[in-house]
Amino acid sequence: MPEKKSSGSVWEPDGRQIEELDRYLAGFAEVTGASFTILIRANGDVLCSDGQFPRKDNVMISALAAAGYSSSEELSQSLAFSDDEETNCSQQFVLEGIENNIFISKLIDDILLVSVFSAEVTVGMMLVHSEKLGAQVVDLAAEQKVIEVEREGRKVFQFDEEFGLQVDMQLDSLFLDNKDS
């Protein structure tokens, strides 16, 4: 039975990679001073988080952030920023509050970063460090793709070897001498 994957998912991190994402996210939060950060899928699935957001749970935050991001992406496509289905507009946005701001950025494929940070922190700092975090996530996803390709290569090799043995046995049985039987 095939593994169940999230709808529209491009990369499914394993347990070790989730731990690595947790470390990356904690480093991002430390360097930016973010009080809460969460990595989510564009469909709202939570991958990992750092910190606690007061008054709300991670599932609700991720669902709302994914919906907000998706609607802004759809709006940019509807306004025809480009002739392609892909949009040329920036894939980050900030919601400004009195004491805190919310930063949402597309890191790769279908993975979004949502971060709550103090109004004292500049958006530029969030942009720079989110790009660094994105590069780390890209490397981790690429590592997984290499592992999957190697795994597929082993499966194909094992099938070919087994098939070769079966063909050899069939050929031997076809060309047996009457004396050998």
What was the pLDDT predicted at 160? 57
> What ranges do the domains of the chain cover?
15-146
Question: pTM for the complete prediction?
Answer: 0.70
Q: Is 92 exposed, middle or buried (0-12, 13-18, 19+ CB in 10 A)?
A: middle
- What span, in angstroms and rounded, lies between the C-alpha atoms of 173 and 181? 10
CATH class of 15-146: alpha beta
Q: Given the structure tokens 């795994």, which residue do they identify? A: 151
pLDDT in tens, the chain (181 residues): 333 344 444 678 888 999 999 999 999 999 999 999 999 998 889 999 988 776 678 888 888 888 888 888 887 777 765 555 555 555 677 888 888 899 999 988 789 999 999 988 988 899 999 999 999 998 888 887 776 666 666 554 444 566 677 777 777 777 776 555 5
Angle between helices 15-32 and 123-174 (to 10 degrees): 170
